[in-house]
Structure 1
Amino acid sequence: MKSKYNKKLTKQAVLILAHKDLEQVVKLCEKISPYFEIYIHIDKSTFINNEIKTELTNMNVHWWSVYNVKWGSYNIVLATVMLMKEALKDDQNSYFHLISGQDWPLQDPLTIFNNFVNDQNIYMDYFKAKNTFKAGENLIWWVKYYFNYNQINRRSLFGKIYHRLILLIQRMIRIDKLKKNHLDSDAIYAGQEWVDIPRDALSYAIKEFDSNKAIQRVFETSFCSDEMWLQTILCNSNFKDRINKDIHRYINWTEKNGSYPAILDEEDFDKIKNGDYWWGRKISMPISNELIKRLEIIE
């Protein structure tokens, strides 16, 4: 049975970073727009036809297409910060959910809304970047050294060679961008970029981001700074005690359906049903259509 929706409650905002499959993004908005204010950034390189624009406008969705968002680039941070600032302009928005355009609610959206009505926790994955390794690289290198992936496609063959080369050169000549900006490597945190966060914590994070020029200088030339900037700010603040590392997001960390992490399908249904998840990724239609149908039956 679905929960009742209390129109007197303060609003919540869903912030969406989208870069493809805009028809699916519209369906996502149709699913959640009765309960949430929606703010979307669509990758500037993505074509948006008039039908999509009309559908988003008719649902009163706030959307922009400002930044060319390459994987691992600082533009992801800028697009995210822009959405956060726009959502904070509405004083009634009390809670904020950052998701991707390939996410999908795994519970009835109203149930998700009601979970956060009186919740002051921050649901965010975090860990220290120092001495944590991905693909054989220490994550602190991604902040300590200089990268320019706003201009270069890190996933191209050239980008992969370039990345290895500039890492080698900067390690050899002992570049230390953190030391130059008077930041301790122990203060750098990382984690998944997706977050559910109350207004006071988000307001603090945005103010700190805007005022702390050292943070901006470091992350604007880092790799995958979208997975570090918010963690670094909040984990070095009094808000750290309110962070819950269980982000309630179902992600299948295997390679399936031609994707890593996997594109979710009906084989994931039992794990989702038996778990405690709010959002799931990655969803891709039509591969995920049967899963979506089965989720709708249990709502």
Structure 2
Amino acid sequence: MKIAHLILTHANPHQLSRLIERLTHPDADFYIHVDLKTDIQPFLFLKSENVKFIKNRVSVYWGAYSIVQATVNSFEEILVADKKYDFVNLLSGQDYPLKSTADIHLFFENNLGKAFMHTLSVANEWQEAIPRLTKYHLCNYHFAGKHFIEKCLNKFMPSRKMPNNLVPVGRSQWFSISAKHVQYIVEYLQQNKNVKRFFELTWGSDEIVFQTILFNSIYQKDMVNDNLRFIDWSEGKASPKTFTIDDLLVLQDSGKLFARKFSETIDAAILDELDKN
């Protein structure tokens, strides 16, 4: 049972090195997408037979489709790699495992063929996301006057409707899915340019597009509404809480495989304790 860990990162090569070291396993490889806005040179010391860097890099902007494109580009390179994988595990450079590497591999070995990702119904369970889909968002574009044009579009144009009669679901961007699901997502976006265009005008599309494509396919039966990650949004900010040593017991009791987010510069002690346990 082989895992491809796909890690999206933009900073702190040392913390990324630590994450890779903790997840190193004979049946694991790492694919690193470094934001195109970031100098890749400080990261290249990590390159090895099992650590590869995504070639088709993207400049990633918060809330924009660019992070979806970065993920899809990475998927494409994983799919044509010499090795074949059972799971693709999408992580950020600020994630960290809560279980041992052996336990993580055993879990996936016992759940072959499944897709672990959030699938909250936008219509019923996650209604705050409705304006993302019904309004026009130009967050993926960079030109003078885009905010004025965005206002005009939303004032004079009719509300947007989901393409292909897709039922939208989602919530968290991060997930662990089988290789067959990755293949299906890539091919679907290649064959349905209208879906890509729709999500290019959607704010936070990374939290919806992948889950929605799978949920509206024959693979819906494989989906488990659990992304296996502990993420704390209790602070009410645009980004989740950064964990410190004070959160150790909560993290250990979460039952999850991974958590985000962590920062060595804020508190490295929590990573040390997780390593010990």
TM-score in terms of structure 2 length: 0.88
The residue that corresponds to 1:200 in the other structure is 180
After TM superposition, list the pairs within 5 Å mapping 1:26-45 onto structure 2: 26-35=17-26, 36-45=28-37
1:267 alignment partner, one of 226, 241, 246: 246
The residue that corresponds to 2:93 in the other structure is 101
Runs of 4+ displaced beyond 3 Å: 130-134, 165-171
The residue that corresponds to 1:3 in the other structure is none
Output one character per residue of 1:48-107: Cα deviation in whole Å (capped at 9) or x when no partner.
33x531x22236411136211000111111100111121222452111100111101111
**Counterpart amino acid of 1:126?**
T
**Counterpart amino acid of 1:278?**
L
Query: Residue 92 in 1 paired to residue 84 in 2?
Result: yes
Query: Residue 243 in 1 paired to residue 223 in 2?
Result: yes
Contiguous gaps of at least 5 residues in structure 1? 1-9
> What percent of counterpart residues are identical?
28
Let me know the Cα RMSD of the aligned residues. 2.6
After superposing the two structures, state which structure 1 stretch, 261-270 or 33-42, moved more: 33-42
**Counterpart amino acid of 1:199?**
A
Shift of 1:167: 6.1
2:153 alignment partner, one of 170, 177, 182: 170
**Counterpart amino acid of 1:253?**
W
Distance in 1 between residues matched to 2:110 and 2:234, nearest whole Å: 35
Distance in 2 between residues matched to 1:64 and 1:206, nearest whole Å: 16
Contact kept in structure 2, 1:140 and 1:188, CA below 8 Å: no
**Counterpart amino acid of 2:87?**
Y
Query: Residue 68 in 1 paired to residue 59 in 2?
Result: yes
Query: Residue 146 in 1 paired to residue 136 in 2?
Result: yes
**Counterpart amino acid of 2:119?**
Y
Q: State the number of aligned residues.
A: 272
Distance in 1 between residues matched to 2:152 and 2:192, nearest whole Å: 29
Shift of 1:259: 8.0
Distance in 2 between residues matched to 1:292 and 1:235, nearest whole Å: 35
Shift of 1:133: 4.0
Distance in 2 between residues matched to 1:210 and 1:152, nearest whole Å: 24
The residue that corresponds to 1:124 in the other structure is 117
TM-score in terms of structure 1 length: 0.82
The residue that corresponds to 1:56 in the other structure is 46
2:202 alignment partner, one of 217, 222, 235: 222
Contact kept in structure 2, 1:11 and 1:92, CA below 8 Å: yes
Distance in 2 between residues matched to 1:267 and 1:26, nearest whole Å: 24
**Counterpart amino acid of 2:183?**
S
Contact kept in structure 2, 1:33 and 1:59, CA below 8 Å: no
Contiguous gaps of at least 5 residues in structure 2? none
